[in-house]
Structure 1
Amino acid sequence: MENRTVTLKTPIKRGENEIKEVQLREPRSGELRGLDNFSVLRMDVNAHRTLVPRISNLTANEFDALPPKDLLAVQQEVVAFFTE
């Protein structure tokens, strides 16, 4: 099982703590349930909004709060699980 880390340019606030890194682990079949693999590979934000909380330390609401640069960095690492 492969893991990846994305360092956020803009940390996400969680209560009094800040999340500075997103820890991602390679998804398993069950975590892809209900998702179209092609949508994940196209970096569809809705597909990633469902998948990323299943495989990371972010919630869906925290995923929604990511600025564009951090969003793309997280999405690129997710897609890399499928392409590398």
Structure 2
Amino acid sequence: MTDTPQLRTVTLDTPIQRGEQTIETVQIRKPRAGELRGLALVDLGQLKVDALGVLLPRITLPPLSPAEVANMDPADLLACGAEIGSFLLQKARRTDALAQ
């Protein structure tokens, strides 16, 4: 699957078990302003667990529940947070960050 500027795929180190379904990859969609309601951008930029726990259920495919996010492996949560962080940068800033 190819990532687009609006959608990123994260392969989980520790898959999420949902009944008989095993979720090994999660797609994260770029959040729209309304999906950021109730959150401080600085909290997302600092990868605060509570902020990621609120946002990820709003922007993941398949949709993850708050309980599933709360039970994620910390390395997987950090990987998802890093993708969210890259979405929050302006295009020029992303280019600058990649060049460093």
Unaligned runs of 5+ in 1: none
- The reply to whether residue 59 of structure 1 matches residue 94 of structure 2 is no
Which has the greater radius of gyration? 2
Structure 1 partner of 2:39: 35
Query: What are structure 2's unaligned runs of at least 5 residues?
Result: 95-100
Percent of pairs with identical residues: 45
TM-score (norm. length: structure 2) = 0.80
Q: In 2, Cα distance between the equivalents of 1:44 and 1:10?
A: 20
Q: Which amino acid aligns with 2:69?
A: F
In the TM superposition, residue 61 of structure 1 has moved relative to its aligned partner by 0.8
Equivalence for 1:79: 85
Asked which structure has the greater RCO (Cα within 8 Å, sep 6+), the reply is 1
Letter in 2 for 1:70: D
TM-score (norm 1): 0.94
> How many residues are paired up?
84
